[in-house]
Amino acid sequence: MAGMLVFGNQSFVDEFLSRPFAVPVLGVAHDMVNATDFLKLYEEAGEVVVALGVDYALEMAEIYRNKRFFLVLDQKDITADLYRRAVSRGIRVVERTSAIEAIGAEIGRSQGDRHNRRILEPSVAAALEQKTILKKPRTIKSHCLSITGVKGGNTKTTTAVNLAAYVASWAKKEGIDYRVCLVDCDAEGARSAGYLLGIASAPQSLSVWASLEKEPSWMELEQLLIRHEETGLYILPGPQSFRDAFDTEMTAALAERVIHALKWHFDLIVLDVGLFVNNPTAIRAMQISSKVFLVIEPTLTVLKLLEELVRENTLGTLKVDLSRVKLVLGMTDGTFTKKDIERSFGIPVAVEIPLDRTVRKAENSGKCIPAAIGSPHSAFAQGIASLARAAVDNELLPFYKPRPWEFLTKIKNYPFLKFKKA
């Protein structure tokens, strides 16, 4: 069998690929989900190099008995007991600093009788494989957020797009393997999220998911999503036209299916669910999300709607966990304060995002760059950064530190501040 698979972090894979080997490298992966997909896809790959941990190597070697596995570890992690367990599965343990030379010397040699073990039944192999993947498919705690509101036109989609793009862009810039997916569940929005990101009409949409017969693998999933190259954000667009929106049945089952599939492959899922009134997709998304952000513009009209929502216990009636619900005050101008709103309605405010000209400027420029990315030092971007930290529980994102001169350079972005000429 000709061919080799290499699984490990970016630096390990890069170093490995810089050296010539007797057989070609058919695929590389940086996490268990992708690695497992490659093991299934490349049946002809006889050599597998694993630097993703002991348990994964042991379990995959048990399933794929016709392949030779090399387990790469630091010297301090190689013990007699581990070596015994590895040999029993036909695994060659190699020390990290000399891994390339040791593996290069072994490649092409006979694999010996240990690979003549009876091959597992397909159903048994599939069950073991699924059990391994479900243990820890991603390395960081995943978050699923629903972005909704009590009234249309309150910057829900703008908030969702900028939040997802901000986190994805930050992870890409830092070189962190942190996947972010934006899902446009707002059937009434008719591609508004796509317009903000410069995505033309695309075959990938929720309409396609409704016809899938089984949950997609990562490689299949990549074909069902659009990747925004500038930020590294993955997008699942909503219905592609008003006609498509009418023809697509947005059900609770569809929402659950999409979220469940994405959770195994993404660290942060941002759902632009639109209004939840008489919307089963939005309601189910809110029920199973780890956090629900109600985006409101704190005007008297909207606050009266919020008061009605609280008085009638609408979210509780819909079986949404109220402890997960927080407010996002968008387009604030200081008329109603955060403390007053929290005290009046009993819902914590995650963040205030000021009324900022950079948002409208970004949307009207035609460049399709979210304001939080295009104007990173604006008041709006700082608000989105604060929301991002609230969204991921301050796990990754650094706190914003304003520069001393920023107040003077950004003050012109506030339309409610007017200056008269002398």
Select, from the ranges 83-97, 140-154, 235-249, 297-311, the one with the highest average predicted confidence (pLDDT). 297-311
pLDDT at 116 over 50: no
Q: Which token pair is 389?
A: 């930290």
CA distance 111 to 134: 30
CA distance 57 to 51: 8
Helix ranges restricted to H, 92-155: 99-106, 122-135
Q: pLDDT per residue over 333-358, tens digit each?
A: 888 989 999 999 999 999 999 878 88
150 vs 34, residue with greater confidence: 150
| pLDDT-derived band at 383, boundaries 50, 70, 90 | very high
Closest CA to 210 of 255, 272, 273, 254: 254
Q: pLDDT per residue over 251-296, tens digit each?
A: 777 788 888 888 888 989 999 987 876 778 888 899 999 999 999 9
Please, what sign has the CA dihedral across residues 84, 89, 90, 93? negative
Per-residue burial over 36-51, b = 16 or more CB atoms within 10 Å of its CB, e = otherwise: bbbbeebeebbbbbbb
Q: Which residues contact 144 (CB under 8 A, 6 or more apart)?
A: 259, 263, 268, 269, 271, 288, 289, 290, 291
Residue 234: its pLDDT value, please? 93
Residue 405: its pLDDT value, please? 46
Q: Which residues contact 15 (CB under 8 A, 6 or more apart)?
A: 100
Q: Residue 291 has what DSSP assignment?
A: E
Residue 202: its pLDDT value, please? 60
- State the average pLDDT for the chain: 79
116 vs 51, residue with greater confidence: 51
Least confident interval from 9-13, 53-57, 187-191, 284-288: 187-191
Q: What angle do CA 225, 194, 387 make, to 5 degrees?
A: 90
> Average pLDDT of 108-118?
50
Residue 131: its pLDDT value, please? 55
Closest CA to 265 of 178, 367, 365: 178
With contact defined as beta carbons under 8 Å apart, do 168 and 231 qualify?
A: yes
Q: Classify strands 325-332 and 349-354 as parallel, antiparallel or unpaired.
A: parallel
CA distance 370 to 380: 11
With contact defined as beta carbons under 8 Å apart, do 63 and 128 qualify?
A: yes
Residue 145: its pLDDT value, please? 95
Residue 125: its pLDDT value, please? 55
With contact defined as beta carbons under 8 Å apart, do 175 and 254 qualify?
A: no
CA distance 376 to 359: 11
pLDDT at 30 over 70: yes
How many Å from the N-terminal Cα to the C-terminal Cα in the chain? 83
pLDDT at 407 over 60: no
From residue 109, how far is each of 22, 28, 47, 112 by CA, in Å?
Answer: 10, 22, 11, 9
Domain residue ranges of the chain, discontinuous segments joined by +: 4-135, 143-413
Question: Which numeric CATH code is attached to 143-413?
Answer: 3.40.50.300
Residue recorded with tokens 């941002």: 270
SS3 9: coil
Residue 11: its pLDDT value, please? 83
pTM above 0.85, yes or no: no
How are strands ordered across the β-sheet holding 47-50? 25-29, 4-7, 47-50, 68-73, 91-95
From residue 117, how far is each of 54, 112, 124, 132 by CA, in Å?
Answer: 21, 11, 15, 21
What is the C-alpha R_g of the chain? Answer: 25
Q: Angle 280-288/252-263 helices, nearest 10 degrees?
A: 40
143-413 matches 4-135 in CATH topology: yes
Q: Residue 19 has what DSSP assignment?
A: S
Closest CA to 388 of 205, 98, 170: 170
Would you identify the CATH topology of the domain 4-135? Rossmann fold (3.40.50)
Please report, to the nearest 10 degrees, the dihedral formed by the alpha carbons of residues 343, 344, 349, 354 taken in order.
-110
> Average pLDDT of 201-214?
64
